């Protein structure tokens, strides 16, 4: 069966002299792995750069088999904007392992496809952080670690939500949570409101919460090591907050 699709390059590993094993986040099939026989040729070398959006045709005997990619065309050369900006390239390198580890093969994830696309096309490093924060937040629900943020877990009120409990993943109001605020996470208001212009402090607070739940409820649960690059994400964010 031949599939025609678009997708973003998440990684490419050299195989033999001219071939590549390419990881793509595709529009219709989610994360897929494909074999490109002439991926290292002079014609194709610039196409298979992380962040680039491509159109491709692929074939495989079975759905779970590795695809063979052919008729590959560059749609958006997003990698160029990353390669010429050291900070953006550093953050790109740091977050890619999270994209790859969290998303399953051959599973439609249109929401992530759109978020990752916005991350790759971001004009600034702050915008990249915004969309990466959305990725981690929605990853919780995708992995079955969804939070309960609609109302206060104690009073049931829907206004004045200010904290999230690390024990239950439920929201609490400011009045209820104030005595325990040192043990609670801040409510991810900008994500709930679907805002694309939070402060760095708001980004920091949401990522602090999402990393905790991802680590405790996904990585540790499945005995998977949290990517070492996560420490680099925090270092980059700290530097950006200092300079802001």
Domains of the chain listed by start with CATH number: 2-77 (2.40.50.140), 85-147+188-243 (no CATH)
The pLDDT of residue 61 is 65
d(CA 180, CA 153): 14
Closest of 121, 122, 157, 114 to residue 138, by C-alpha: 114
For the chain (length 244 residues), average pLDDT per consecutive 10? 90 92 94 90 89 90 71 94 92 97 92 97 96 98 93 96 97 97 97 96 98 95 92 96 88
The pLDDT of residue 2 is 79
Residue 117 Cα distances to 52, 103, 232, angstroms: 9, 15, 21
Find the radius of gyration of the CA atoms of the chain.
20
The pLDDT of residue 83 is 87
């Amino acid at each position: 069966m031949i599939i025609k699709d678009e997708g973003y390059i998440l990684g490419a590993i050299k195989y033999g002299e001219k071939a590549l094993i390419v990881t793509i986040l595709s529009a219709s099939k989610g994360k897929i792995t494909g074999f490109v026989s002439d991926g290292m040729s002079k014609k194709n070398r610039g196409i298979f750069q992380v962040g680039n959006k491509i159109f491709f045709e692929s074939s495989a005997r079975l759905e779970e088999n590795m695809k063979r990619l052919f008729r590959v065309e560059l749609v958006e050369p997003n990698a160029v904007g990353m390669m010429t900006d050291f900070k953006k390239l550093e953050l790109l390198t740091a977050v890619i392992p999270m994209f790859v580890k969290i998303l399953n093969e051959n599973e439609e994830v249109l929401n992530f496809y759109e978020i990752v696309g916005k991350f790759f096309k971001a004009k600034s490093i702050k915008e990249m952080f915004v969309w990466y924060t959305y990725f981690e937040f929605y990853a919780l629900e995708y992995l079955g670690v969804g939070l309960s943020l609609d109302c206060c877990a104690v009073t049931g009120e829907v206004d004045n939500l200010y904290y999230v409990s690390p024990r239950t993943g439920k929201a609490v109001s400011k009045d209820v949570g104030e005595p325990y605020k040192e043990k609670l996470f801040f409510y991810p208001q900008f994500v709930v409101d679907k805002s694309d212009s939070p402060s760095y402090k708001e980004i920091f607070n949401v990522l602090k919460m999402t990393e905790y739940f991802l680590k405790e409820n996904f990585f540790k649960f499945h005995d998977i090591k949290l990517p070492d690059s996560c420490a680099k994400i925090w270092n980059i964010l700290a530097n950006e907050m200092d300079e802001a």
